């Protein structure tokens, strides 16, 4: 997943993308201890980064002071451009784009800490800074005087042609984008409507920020006895905090962070335990419902003022799908194709439930509930495919596994990762964070610095609770002709080491890291002159997941998984039969998984195409749609999972969740066309790096795909992956 710091911050059109903490000292003598084994070269002088990593040494007050300075200096700059009597490319466009290039890093230094800082006061100051910057950015994006200046330039350029790859072409595309953004913000409308647009955008941004903060700051948990957690592994139990309740009974705190809640839903035998854990997780942020409903209403108002039939059509205009009709067609056709296969999978799991209930002496009511699914899906894999995910994870301790994954990226994309260990050069927001320099190795004797990447791997209070790539700054060419190098961060929440075991990665976590690192590399290898056109945020948002989804295919390949493995105690490779049993499960219950994604995508489209949000029964829609599409039952428990559905409050993913499935069409096509025969083909890997990733958003995505694939994109591989071809 990609996240952005804030949209059009300080008036800048650069869209900052937020798209892992190092392991603490481990107990020697209990298990094997290893560090991240990033490869080194015989000549370390080849790897001296030409650009330092950014500073994170802020206090709450200094962070806010810098925010106000940035806003004031930016306002003065924009005022000066608005006063130009004869705007030209030289005196308007170039200063504007250089200013935009330069402030991206500063804005991220101010807004990113809310996601990762261990200091609540700094997180709060960062949230406050983000709100200031968002409001200022909205005001600047709606300045009619600047619109008139760019309108004049665009009218002079729009009928001209420029050679692709030239600086003039990039400037032309830049002015086109700026002008398009202004018109989509309603700058051509009368003043009263422009004022209303500003009010709506400020309130929508504030709601989104508060929604996200509520999710990040929530510390809810559900408590169970040891007996109620029967089936949960000892290693997972070790990570739960224990306490005595008012009756003196020992209870275990299960938080709603992934490493806690997912193992309970997957392995707790008691259905009452799973039901309570599921319901409490779904309803953990009730304060978000009001924000969600109000935002839907505000988005409808915004779309109406701007002349769009629905908010979905407004937000889809710049995506590959173009409009809501195409999205509805895609989602509904896919749902209809998947449903027969999904019904077979659900019936199989229901039979497994019946057999278990009979063997345990539990009543079987003939139903398959939503809180049953992770448990029986996991049980089916374990009992029928000999897949013990806990056992498999013992072969993937986090340190050696991540080192191996980086090696795959190095071979495939001709890159090199070098950890910064010099205390004088390390610049991190938490002592456990890893900082790495990334280099291109097309010519090994002359490595080319690419940029910095951070790994922040484990949960902590107040930290962003899922897995995402955060683009801190994009690549660009400075006024003096030298390049400013990008910075990006992978923020994940893998389980921490315990006193008995190191942090062990489940297979799905290996896929998660590979996926998010794909976003990170996309952030790093941009070759355009302007930040606007570099990184994943520059491509259509329904393509943005495709490069990372493609890279997940490597985590299902026997050769790569075997090489990544190293048992945390013995160092042995994973047994072939255990590995093959895992790989054989790739498509098991795949239709049900895809239908679950379609539930999210369809709900997203329903709420963003509704003309009357007040009449929408969100609770009913969410739960009945889940029953209909996901093929799992709600029973007597309706939940409000939409209150923690962060995507839907994002400008990019709202009316855009379908993009996960849409992008998989291209992901499967790219992998099966160029990499299936040889997953470590560096020639294909470098072409992918330079064409699909490096070109960013300067050229049409379909043109890049045609060049990389050697033909028009096809859905054949995607349908085959789903078992539909």
The total number of residues written for the chain in this structure: 725
Residue ranges and CATH numbers for the domains of the chain are 10-15+38-214 (1.20.1050.40)
Q: What is the mean pLDDT of the chain?
A: 93
Say whether 516 is catalytic. Answer: yes
Helix 94-111, helix 167-184: angle, nearest 10: 70
Euclidean distance between CA atoms 586 and 26, whole angstroms:
33
pLDDT of residue 609: 98
pTM over 0.75: yes
Q: What is the arithmetic mean of pLDDT over 643-663?
A: 94
User: By mean pLDDT, which of 39-48, 97-106, 514-523, 607-616 is the weakest?
Assistant: 39-48
Who has greater pLDDT, 380 or 18?
A: 380
Q: What is the arithmetic mean of pLDDT over 183-204?
A: 96
pLDDT of residue 499: 83
pLDDT of residue 203: 96
- Whole-Å CA distances, 92 to 96, 211, 326, 343: 6, 37, 38, 60
**For residue range 458-501, what is the model confidence (pLDDT) as tens digits?**
999 899 988 999 999 999 999 999 999 999 999 999 988 888 89
**For residue range 607-627, what is the model confidence (pLDDT) as tens digits?**
999 999 999 999 999 999 999
User: By mean pLDDT, which of 8-12, 113-117, 463-467 is the weakest?
Assistant: 8-12
Euclidean distance between CA atoms 552 and 408, whole angstroms:
12
**For residue range 495-524, what is the model confidence (pLDDT) as tens digits?**
888 888 999 999 999 999 999 999 999 999
- Whole-Å CA distances, 99 to 103, 153, 184: 6, 18, 22
Euclidean distance between CA atoms 38 and 20, whole angstroms:
14
Euclidean distance between CA atoms 263 and 238, whole angstroms:
12
Q: Residue 388: which of 678, 585, 238, 559 has the closest Cα?
A: 585
User: By mean pLDDT, which of 152-166, 315-329, 489-503 is the weakest?
Assistant: 489-503
pLDDT of residue 120: 96
Max CA pair span of the chain: 85
pLDDT of residue 35: 40
Q: Considering the candidates 100, 419, 516, 560, report the single residue annotated as catalytic.
A: 516
Q: What is the DSSP letter of 2?
A: B
**For residue range 275-298, what is the model confidence (pLDDT) as tens digits?**
999 999 999 999 999 999 999 999
């Amino acid at each position: 997943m990609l996240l952005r710091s804030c949209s059009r911050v300080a008036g800048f059109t650069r869209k900052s993308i937020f798209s892992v903490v190092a392991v603490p000292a481990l107990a020697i003598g209990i298990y094997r201890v290893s560090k991240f084994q990033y490869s080194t070269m015989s000549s370390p002088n080849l790897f001296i980064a030409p650009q330092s990593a950014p500073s994170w040494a802020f206090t709450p007050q200094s962070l806010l002071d810098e925010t106000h300075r940035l806003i004031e200096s930016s306002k003065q700059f924009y005022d000066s451009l608005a006063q130009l009597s004869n705007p030209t490319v030289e005196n308007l466009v170039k200063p504007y784009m250089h200013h935009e290039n330069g402030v991206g890093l500063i804005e991220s230094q101010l807004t990113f800490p809310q996601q990762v800082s261990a200091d609540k006061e700094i997180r709060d100051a960062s949230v406050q800074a983000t709100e200031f910057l968002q409001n200022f950015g909205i005001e600047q994006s709606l300045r009619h005087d600047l619109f008139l200046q760019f309108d004049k330039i665009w009218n002079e350029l729009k009928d001209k042609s420029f050679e692709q790859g030239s600086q003039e072409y990039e400037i032309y595309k830049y002015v086109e984008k700026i002008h398009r953004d202004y018109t989509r913000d309603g700058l051509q409308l009368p003043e009263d409507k422009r004022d209303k647009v500003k009010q709506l955008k400020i309130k929508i941004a504030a709601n989104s920020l508060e929604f996200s903060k509520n999710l990040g700051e929530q510390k809810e948990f559900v408590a169970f006895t040891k007996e109620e957690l029967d089936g949960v592994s000892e290693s997972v139990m070790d990570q739960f905090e224990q306490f005595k309740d008012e009756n003196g009974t020992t209870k275990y705190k299960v938080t709603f962070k992934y490493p806690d809640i997912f193992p309970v839903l997957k392995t707790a035998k008691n259905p009452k335990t799973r039901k309570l854990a599921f319901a409490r997780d779904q309803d953990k942020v009730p304060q978000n419902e009001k924000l969600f409903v109000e935002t839907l209403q505000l988005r409808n108002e915004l779309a109406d003022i701007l002349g769009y039939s629905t908010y979905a059509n407004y937000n889809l205009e710049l995506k590959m799908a173009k409009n809501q009709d195409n999205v509805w067609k895609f989602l509904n056709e896919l749902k209809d194709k998947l449903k027969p296969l999904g019904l077979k999978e659900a019936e199989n799991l229901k039979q497994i439930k019946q057999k278990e209930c009979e063997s345990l002496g539990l009543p079987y009511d003939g139903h398959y509930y939503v809180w049953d699914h992770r448990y029986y899906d996991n049980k089916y894999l374990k009992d029928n495919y000999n897949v013990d995910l806990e056992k498999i994870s013992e072969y993937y301790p986090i340190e050696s596994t991540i080192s191996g994954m980086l090696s795959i990226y190095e071979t495939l994309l001709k890159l090199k990762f070098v950890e910064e260990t010099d205390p004088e050069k390390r610049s991190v927001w938490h002592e456990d964070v890893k900082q790495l320099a990334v280099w291109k190795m097309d010519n090994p004797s002359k490595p080319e610095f690419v940029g910095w990447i951070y790994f922040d791997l484990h949960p902590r209070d107040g930290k962003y609770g899922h897995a995402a790539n955060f683009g801190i700054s994009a690549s660009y060419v400075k006024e003096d002709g030298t390049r400013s190098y990008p910075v990006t961060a992978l923020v994940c929440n893998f389980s921490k080491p315990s006193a008995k075991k190191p942090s062990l990665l489940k297979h799905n976590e290996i896929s998660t890291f590979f996926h998010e690192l794909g976003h990170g590399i996309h952030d790093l290898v941009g070759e355009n002159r302007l930040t606007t056109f570099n990184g994943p945020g520059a491509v259509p948002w329904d393509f943005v997941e495709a490069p990372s989804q493609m890279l997940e295919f490597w985590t299902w390949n026997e050769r790569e998984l075997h090489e990544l493995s190293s048992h945390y105690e013995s160092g042995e490779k994973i047994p072939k039969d255990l590995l093959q049993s895992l790989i054989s499960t790739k498509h098991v219950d795949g239709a049900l998984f895809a239908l679950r994604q379609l539930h999210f995508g369809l709900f997203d489209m329903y709420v963003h195409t509704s003309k009357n949000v007040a009449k929408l029964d969100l609770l009913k829609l969410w739960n009945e749609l889940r029953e209909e599409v996901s093929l799992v039952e709600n029973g007597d428990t309706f939940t409000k999972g939409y209150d923690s559905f962060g995507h839907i409050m994002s400008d990019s993913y709202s009316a855009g969740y379908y993009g996960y499935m849409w992008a998989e069409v291209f992901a499967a096509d790219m992998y099966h066309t160029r990499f299936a025969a040889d997953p470590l083909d560096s020639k294909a890997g470098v072409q992918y790096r330079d064409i699909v990733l490096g070109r960013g958003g300067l050229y049409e995505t379909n043109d890049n795909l045609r060049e990389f694939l050697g033909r028009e994109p096809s859905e054949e591989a995607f349908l085959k992956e789903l078992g539909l071809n």
